[in-house]
Amino acid sequence: MAKLKYNKQGRLLFTKEMKKEYTILCPMMAPIHFRLIVNVMKNCGYHFELLNTTGPSIVQEGLKYVHNDTCYPALLVIGQFIDALHSGKYDLNKTALVITQTGGGCRASNYIHLLRKALKKAGLEQIPVISLNLSFLERNPGFQITLPMIRKFVAGLVYGDALMLLHNQTEAYEVNKGESEKKVEKWISELSEQFNHGRGLSLKQQTENLNRMVHDFASVPIHKVPKVKVGIVGEIYVKYAALGNNHLEDFLRAQDCEVNVPGIMGFALFKVDNRLDDIRLYGGNPVKRFFVQKLMNYLLKMQNILIQAVKAEPRYLAPTPYAHTKSLVKGIIGYGDKMGEGWLLTAEMLELTEQGYENIVCAQPFGCLPNHICGKGMIHKIRAVDGRSNIVPIDYDPSATRVNQENRIKLMLAVAKEKLPQKE
Amino acid sequence: MKIGLDVGSTTIKCIVMDESGNILYRSYQRHYSKITEKMTELLEKVRRDFNLDETAMLTVSGSAGMGISQTCGLPFVQEVYATHIAVDRLIPDADVIIELGGEDAKILFLTNGLEVRMNGSCAGGTGAFIDQMATLLNVSLEEMDQLASKYEKIYTIASRCGVFAKSDVQPLLNQGARTTDISASIFAAVANQTIAGLAQGQPIRGKVIYLGGPLTFLPQLRSSFDRALKVEGICPENSLYYVAIGAAYCGAVQTNLGEALQRIRKYGSTGSFLSIPPLFQSKEEYDAFRQRHSRCKAPRGDIASYSGDVYLGVDAGSTTVKAVLLGKDAEILDSIYQSNSGNPVPIIRDYLLNVFQTYPKLRIVKSAVTGYGEELLKNAFGIDCGIVETVAHFTAAKHFRPNVDFVIDIGGQDMKCFKIRNGTVDNIFLNEACSSGCGSFLQTFASTLGYEIPEFAKLGLFAEHPVDLGSRCTVFMNSQVKQAQKDGATTKDISAGLSVSVVKNAIYKVIRVSNAEELGRNIVVQGGTFMNDAVLRVFEKELGVEVTRPDISGLMGAYGAALYAMGKPAAAESSLIGLEELRNFKHEVKVTNCGLCSNHCRLTINIFGKNRRFIGGNRCERPVTKRNSKDELNMVACKMELLASYRTSQPGPRGKMGIPMGLNMYELLPFWHRFFTALGFEVVVSPLSNRELYLNGQTTIPSDTVCFPAKLMHGHVQALIDEGIQNIFYPCMSYNFDEGISDNHYNCPVVAYYPEVIAANMGSLDGHNLIHDYVGIHRKRDFPIKIHAILQKSFPDITVREVKRAAKEAYAEYAHYMESVRQKGDAMIQEAEREHRPIIVLSGRPYHLDPEINHGIDKLIVSLGAAVITEDVVSRREGRVHTDVLNQWTYHARLYAAAKYVCSRPDMNLVQLVSFGCGVDAITTDEVRRILEDGNKIYTQIKIDEITNLGAVKIRLRSLFAALES
C-alpha cells in the first residue's frame, strides 16, 4: 500500500504509488463534459471516478463541514465529497480527491483548502487532495499536468461543448422525444471507447469526429415551432450543475423553452486570455507572454474546428468566435475584470441577446462576489445597450426555495412569451 | 364567465367577471396555509352562486398557486404579469406600479417598455415583515398604522430582513423609544427597502400606483412611500385584486370546474415530503427522558415564612423580563418570567412594589441586573451592579454543573453559546446575522398556525414523520412549511420539524460544530426555548450527549445575576430604590441627536423621577461623561486624523479631480492625493460618510447583497457629482501592493471592480468623466507608462515625464503614510504598556475606519478601558505566516500576520470586524480563529452592516474583558 508522504509545509502528497492504487473522486459539474473528461483522465493513467450522487445528504454534509457563509458551490462540492466518503462505497485508504483551483482573486481558489479543513474535521486526513490548475499551484509527484494531458483535456471540453450545443438545439424541436438524448449517450460511449484505445484526441480525428457528430444530430427529425429561447449564464458551477441550480435546464425544458448554455471552451479561453490582458494592462514578462499566446492560439484553433463543424449544418447555430464575444463588451466592462467569470459573463449575456436568446437566467450563488459586478452589476447597462434583453438574476444557496426561484423565472418567461409573436 | 384566482403566500383572492369584464364577485381572505381547502371552498361557492355547471375560463395566479395549477393542469399566469395585464386595461396611463404582498415586493415600470422587478431571495420589506414587527410591538396592524400617524422622529431601521430589523427595533424599545416613532420608522424602512432593492437605478416618477394588501390596508405605509418618492401615489379601487383581475382577463381556455375541483382535492391528498425519524419512539422513552431531566432542580424556599436578607437578580432579555429573589442559601424564594411588552420598566416596578408591600420582612441587600435592558433598569431602579449576560449565565450554570464546559442559551431572539476554558468564558457564539434558531421563530409559526407555543411544541413530541425543513431563514421557512403542508405534513410533523430546524441552526449555523466532542461533555442548556422538550430532545439526539437542563432554564440569567450579587461583598446599604420612591416612580422619554462627533447618534434620554436618568443609543461615553477623547489610545481615530490632512488641496492649473472616499481609497488616498496634486490637480475628496450620503446613492445599487462598504460608494460618487466635480478618479485594481507576506496580492473582487458597477449604474454620471481604468500600482516600473496612457485620454497635454515624477512622489508619500501609521501605532503600544492597559487589535480592512461602517466600535472599546490598535500596525512586526488557506489578498494577509503576532503578547487581543456579506471573510474568519486558538487566545468577531446591533457587540466585548480580568 502506498505510504503517506507530506511536503515541507505538511501537505499530504499524491504519490506515484498512489497513482497506481488510488481511485480519484471527481465532483460533478457539467454532466456531458465531465463524463468525457473522466475518460480522458483514464486514458492518462488515472483512475478517475465521477460522483453522480444527488440528494439532501450532500447539502447536509456541506452545511456541517463548510463555513455556511462560503459560496454554495464550495458547500455542494465538498458536501458531495464527504457524502461519498461516508457512503462506505470507497476504500478510504485508497481514495483521493481532485478539485480545480483557478488561482484567481475570487475565493474559489480557496475551495481546496476548505476541502482539506472539512476532511480534517471529518477525521479523513489520510485522503490526499489533488489541485487541478494551470497556475503551478501545489505540485504532486503522482499527478503531473503534461502538455499531452492538456491537449486531451481540451479535446474533452470541445466534444462536451459540441454535444451540449447539438443536444440543446435539437431536443427542443425533435419529433420523437428522447432521440437527441440517445444520441448524446451514443456519442459519449463511442468517444470513451475511442479514448480507451488512445484515439479521438488528435486534431485530425477530432475534426472527423465532430463532423460526424454534427451530421448525426442533423439526421434527427425536427419540427420547428416558435419557442421561447432562453440562455443560461452565471457562476460556472451553478450555471452547469443541476445539483447547484435546482435542475434549471430541465425546468426550462418543461416550460417548453429552447435552452442555450454557452460552452466551457469560452471560459477556458477567457482564463488564458486573462494572462495576456494582465500583461497588456500592467506590464509583464515577454517570455511568459510568448508561451501563453501559444496556448491561446491552440485553444482558438480548437474552438474554430468546433465552429466550422457546426456551421456545416445550416440548422444549427454555431458558437460565436471568441474574438467576437470579447468585442461585445467593449465600452461596457473592462478586460481587466477577470475574477470568477469576469467580463465573459457580461459578454455572454450580450452574445445570447444578439443570437436571439435574449431571455436570460443569470445564475449565481447567493453573495457571489464577482457576480455583484459582472452579473447583477451589468444588467442595467446591457439593457441600455440592447433593449431586447430580458434578464432575470437568480441566487442559489441552501436556503433559497425552488418555488421562489421558479416564480421569478416564470415572470421572465411571461415577458418573453408576450414578445414571441412579434418576433416570428 | 371568467374566474381569476390569486393564491398568494398568505391570502387567496378570487374574482369572477362576465365576458365584458364587469366584476360580479370578489373575495379576499387569509388561507392559513390550507390552500387546497380554501381553493375548493371558493370554487364551489362560485360554481353554486353562478350556476356554472359546465365550464368557465379559470386562470390561476400567485406564488402558492403555481405548483397546484401545474399538477392539476389549470391555466396559470405569473402574478406580476397578471398585474401588468390588469393595469394595462384599468389604468392605461400608469407609469409605475408598486405592489407589496405577503412575501413579495414588486415594482413594474410601464413607460418606455415593460420592466419588472421582484425581490430576489430576500423577503425584507414585505407584508410578512410588517406582521413580524407588529407582533414585536405587540399591536395589531391597524393600531400600528394609527401609531405611525402620530410620529415625531424617524429612526433608521434595516428592513433588509425581519431578523435585522428586530435587532434594530429591540434596542430602541429597550431604550424606551416611543412606539409611535418606531411604527413610522418601520414603514419608512419598508419604503426605503423596496425602493433601494428594486428600483436599481430606474427613477420612479409619474403616475405611481400602489397595490396589494399592506399598501391597501395601511395608509401610513402609503404616506411613507409618498415621502420617500416625493410623489403622490394612488391606491385604486380593487387594489387587492389586480392579480386576480389580470388572471381573469388572461382566461382563454374553458375548464370543466367539476373536474378541476376533483383534481385539486386529489392534489391536496397526495404529495410526499422528506421526513426524519420521530423524536420519541414511545411514551416510555419520553417518560424516561422527563424523569432524567426532572432531577436537575434548583433549591426552593418559602417566601412567606422567610425573613431577613435576600438577593435580587434581574434579567431584561429581548422579549421577556425575568427576576429572581434568593435567600441566604441560594434558594429561590420567588421569581417572575414575563413578556416585556416592549418596556421592562413598569414590570419591574410592579414586581418590586409587590414584593415590598407583601413581604415587609424581606431586606434586599444586594441586586444585580443583566441582559439587553441592563443599563436602563440599573439606572431606573438603582440596582447595585450590572453584569454581562455571558457571565450571568456562566455563574448560574456553574451552580448546577461545576465542571461545565459549554453553555448554550436559546432565548426569544438571541442565542448565546460559549465555551468555558480555564474557568472563564471563552469563544462566544452569538446569532448576530440570523435569528432562525431562536424561540421567536417557533412562536411566529405557532401563532400563524393558531397555537400557543407550549401546546404547539408538545404536538411535535410524538409526530410520526417530522418534516425535514433543513436550516434556513425564518422568512423562507414560511414557504418551506407551506410546501410541506401542501404535501400532506400534519401540524405535528411541522412542529417537530421546526424544533429540529431550531437546533440545526444553532449547531450548524451559529456554533458550527461537526461533532459533540468539540463542545465538551458537560453541556448546560438553558433559555426559554429549551423549556420545550422537543427542542431539548433534538439537541441531545443531534449531538449524541446527555445535557443538563436546569428546571429554571428560563430564569438562568436572573438566577446567575442574583448569585453574582450574593458573591459580592455587601455594602452597608443596597442602592436599590425604596418603597416610597417606587410609589412615586416616573418615567419620561426624550429623543435627541447627539452632536459631539460625526456619528450623530440618536439619543433616547430616559428620566426617572428626580435625579436619575439614562441615555440610550450612544456609542461612546461622551454624551454621558462629556469627557474629551483627545488623549485616548485609539489608532482608528488617529488614522482618521492622518487621512484628514489629505482631504483638501490647493487649487491647481489642471482643475479638480474628485476621489470618492471609500473602500481601498481609505488606504490609497495618500498615494493618489500626492499623485494628482503633483500633476497640478486640485484633489477633491468626497465628504465623510453619513446616513444621508448613503441614501442619496442607494437607488443605483444593483445588487442588494453586496457589502455595505461597497454600497456606500454610490453615495460618495453622487456627493462628488453634486459638488459639480467634472473628473472623478476611481480606478479598478485587481492587484494591490505586494507587502511580501502573502502568496499573492489581490484585492477582493468587490474592491477590485466596484468602479465598473458605479460606471454602469449611476446615470447621474452622464456628462461627467469617470476614470475607472485598470491600474496596477503593484508594478512600480510599469505604472507611470500605463497610467500616462490612461490619463492622456482625458488630459492630452500630460507628459510621461510629469507622470513619472508624480508617480515617484506618490510612492514615497504612500510609504511615508504607512510609516507614520506604524510609528503612531508603536507609540500607542508603548503608552498602553506604560499604563498597563489591555490592547485590542481591531482588525478588518482599511475602510473599516469609516465611522458609518464601524459604528463607533473603536470608541466603545476605548470606553471599556482598552487601547485600540489597528492590524496594519502589528502585521509588519510578524511578517509572513504559514496559513492553512491560500493567502492571496493583501489586506487579508495582514489579518493572519496580526493574529499570529497577538498570540505572542499577553497584553494583546484581537477583535475582527467583518462586513456582512463579505464572502472573503468566510475564509479569513475561520483562519484567524484557528491562528488565535492555536496561540491560546480568545477569538472575537463582530459582524457589521448598514445597521449594527451594538447590544450584541457590547456583550462580546464585555465578555472578552470579563475573561481577561479573571
Q: Which of A54-68, A332-346, B642-656, B886-900 has the lowest mean pLDDT?
A: A54-68
Cell of B255: 375548464
Residues B852-874, mean pLDDT to the nearest whole number: 90
Q: How far apart (Å, rounded) are the C-alpha atoms in residues B658 and B681?
A: 10
User: Given this model, what pLDDT does residue B627 score?
Assistant: 54
Question: Cβ of B705 and A114 within 8 Å?
Answer: no
The tens digit of pLDDT for each residue in A98-110 reads 998 877 778 888 8
Residues 6+ apart with CB under 8 A from B530: B410, B536, B539, B549, B553
Coil, strand, or helix at residue A265?
Answer: helix
User: Given this model, what pLDDT does residue A21 score?
Assistant: 92
User: Given this model, what pLDDT does residue B638 score?
Assistant: 93
Q: Is B431 on the interface with A (CB under 8 A)?
A: no
Contacts with A, B 456-515, CB within 8 Å:
468, 470-473, 476, 479-480, 483, 508-509, 512, 514
Residues A38-53, mean pLDDT to the nearest whole number: 91
| A52 within 8 A of A28, measured Cβ to Cβ | yes
Q: What single DSSP character describes residue B634?
A: B
pLDDT band (50, 70, 90) for residue B515: low
pLDDT band (50, 70, 90) for residue B608: confident
Mutation site for B-interface testing, chosen from A100, A404, A410, A415 by largest number of B Cβ within 10 Å: A404
Residue B575 has pLDDT above 90, yes or no: no
User: Given this model, what pLDDT does residue B258 score?
Assistant: 84
The tens digit of pLDDT for each residue in B293-323 reads 888 888 899 998 998 899 999 998 877 899 9
CA angle A273, A277, A282 (to 5 degrees): 150
Rg (CA), chain A: 21
Facing residues of B371 across strands?
B316
- Name which residue leads in pLDDT, B717 or B699: B717
Closest by CA to A408, choosing from B99, B244, B14, B66, is B66
User: Given this model, what pLDDT does residue A105 score?
Assistant: 78
Measure Cα distances from B735 to B196, B572, B663, B775 in Å. Answer: 31, 65, 14, 8
Q: How far apart (Å, rounded) are the C-alpha atoms in residues B127 and B130?
A: 5
Cell of B54: 359546465
Contacts of B64 in chain A (CB under 8 A): 403
Q: Which residue of A has its CA nearest to B884?
A: A113
pLDDT band (50, 70, 90) for residue B938: confident
Residues A176-188, mean pLDDT to the nearest whole number: 95
Q: How far apart (Å, rounded) are the C-alpha atoms in residues A269 and B325?
A: 73
Question: Cβ of B886 and A113 within 8 Å?
Answer: yes
Question: Cβ of A283 and B115 within 8 Å?
Answer: no
User: Given this model, what pLDDT does residue B785 score?
Assistant: 94
Mutation site for B-interface testing, chosen from A72, A339, A373, A396 by largest number of B Cβ within 10 Å: A373
Fill in the amino acid letter for A229.
K
Q: Which of A78-87, A299-308, B370-379 has the lowest mean pLDDT?
A: B370-379
Torsion A236-A242-A243-A247 (CA) sign? positive
Contacts of B121 in chain A (CB under 8 A): 366, 395, 397, 400, 404
User: Given this model, what pLDDT does residue A303 score?
Assistant: 96
Total-model pTM? 0.87
Which residue reads 499524491 in cell numbers? A14
Residue B946 has pLDDT above 80, yes or no: no
Pairs from A249-252 (Cβ < 8 Å, separation ≥ 24):
A251/A406, A251/A409, A252/A361, A252/A409
Strand order in B602-608's β-sheet? Answer: B587-593, B602-608, B612-616
- Name which residue leads in pLDDT, B966 or B228: B228
Torsion B518-B524-B530-B533 (CA) sign? positive
Ramachandran angles phi, psi of B70, nearest 5°: -65, -50
User: Given this model, what pLDDT does residue A97 score?
Assistant: 96
Q: How far apart (Å, rounded) are the C-alpha atoms in residues B389 and B560?
A: 9
Contacts of A380 in chain B (CB under 8 A): 200-202, 702, 760-761
Mutation site for A-interface testing, chosen from B107, B273, B762, B774 by largest number of A Cβ within 10 Å: B774
Ramachandran angles phi, psi of B728, nearest 5°: -120, 130
- Name which residue leads in pLDDT, A206 or B154: A206
Question: Cβ of B81 and A414 within 8 Å?
Answer: yes
Rg (CA), chain B: 30
User: Given this model, what pLDDT does residue B948 score?
Assistant: 67
Question: Cβ of A377 and B703 within 8 Å?
Answer: yes
| A362 within 8 A of A392, measured Cβ to Cβ | yes
Its ipTM equals 0.93
Residues B769-780, mean pLDDT to the nearest whole number: 95
User: Given this model, what pLDDT does residue A247 score?
Assistant: 93
Q: Which of B44-48, B306-310, B388-392, B578-582 has the lowest mean pLDDT?
A: B578-582
Fill in the amino acid letter for B686.
S
Q: How far is B630 from chain A (nearest CA, A)?
A: 39
Q: How far is A17 from chain B (nearest CA, A)?
A: 26
The tens digit of pLDDT for each residue in B355-385 reads 999 998 888 999 999 988 888 888 889 899 8
| Orientation of helix B708-722 relative to helix B749-761, angle to 10° | 40
| Orientation of helix B665-678 relative to helix B635-644, angle to 10° | 20
CA angle A397, A399, A404 (to 5 degrees): 90
Contacts of B749 in chain A (CB under 8 A): 105-106, 339-340, 369-370, 372-373
Residues B757-772, mean pLDDT to the nearest whole number: 93
- Cβ of A106: how many Cβ atoms within 10 Å? 27
Q: Which residue of A has its CA nearest to B917?
A: A367
Residue B389 has pLDDT above 60, yes or no: yes
- Ramachandran category for residue A315: left, alpha or beta (phi over 0 → left; psi -120 to 50 → alpha): alpha
User: Given this model, what pLDDT does residue B623 score?
Assistant: 64
Work out how many CB contacts closer than 8 A connect A with B: 213
Ramachandran angles phi, psi of B634, nearest 5°: -135, 105
Question: Cβ of A105 and B779 within 8 Å?
Answer: no
Q: Measure CB to CB from residue B479 to each of A106, A401, A415 and give the nearest one.
A: A401
pLDDT band (50, 70, 90) for residue B958: confident
Residue B947 has pLDDT above 70, yes or no: no
Q: How far is B638 from chain A (nearest CA, A)?
A: 31
Cα torsion B739, A107, B775, B850 to 10°: value is -70
User: Given this model, what pLDDT does residue B473 score?
Assistant: 59
Q: How far is A203 from chain B (nearest CA, A)?
A: 36
pLDDT band (50, 70, 90) for residue B156: confident
Q: Which of A64-68, A171-175, B165-169, B205-209 has the lowest mean pLDDT?
A: B165-169
User: Given this model, what pLDDT does residue B588 score?
Assistant: 82
Q: Cα A346 vs. chain centroid, distance in angstroms?
A: 16
Residues A214-242, mean pLDDT to the nearest whole number: 95
Q: Which of B484-498, B878-892, B913-927 has the lowest mean pLDDT?
A: B484-498
Residues A270-276, mean pLDDT to the nearest whole number: 94
pLDDT band (50, 70, 90) for residue A163: very high
Q: How far apart (Å, rounded) are the C-alpha atoms in residues B757 and A378?
A: 7
Cell of B649: 488641496
